[in-house]
């Protein structure tokens, strides 16, 4: 609650995709068509639980945290500009 006023409410924090993941993929980068890292996978919906045995693109979803959310948190919640600089984020 203390940092609530410091974060941009327009920031995309999480997103879902049709990436095919299974247990153990948490922390994997999510990369867009331009080769840019846009997030980190951390969960899947209930339909992704059987991912080791099959994939249904109509139902399976991967849940990811966006790099924009991590940047926002490092900059405005944790106030770690030196870490953003080290990561090459402006």
Q: How far apart are CA 45 and CA 42, in angstroms?
A: 11
CB 51 within 8 A of CB 21: yes
pLDDT tens by residue, 38-60: 999 999 999 888 878 888 889 99
Tokens coding 72 = 């926002």
CB 75 within 8 A of CB 84: yes
User: What is the average per-residue pLDDT within 20-28?
Assistant: 91
Domain map (residue ranges) of the chain? 4-87
User: What is the average per-residue pLDDT within 71-90?
Assistant: 94
Q: How far apart are CA 31 and CA 34, in angstroms?
A: 8
């Amino acid at each position: 609650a203390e940092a609530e006023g410091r974060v941009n409410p327009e920031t995309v924090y999480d997103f879902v995709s049709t990436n095919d993941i299974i247990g153990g993929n948490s922390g994997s980068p999510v990369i867009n068509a331009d080769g840019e890292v846009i997030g980190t996978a951390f969960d899947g919906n209930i339909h992704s639980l059987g991912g080791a045995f099959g994939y249904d693109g109509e139902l399976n979803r991967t849940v990811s945290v966006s790099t924009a959310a991590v940047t926002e948190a490092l900059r405005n919640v944790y106030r770690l500009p030196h870490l953003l600089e080290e990561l090459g984020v402006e």
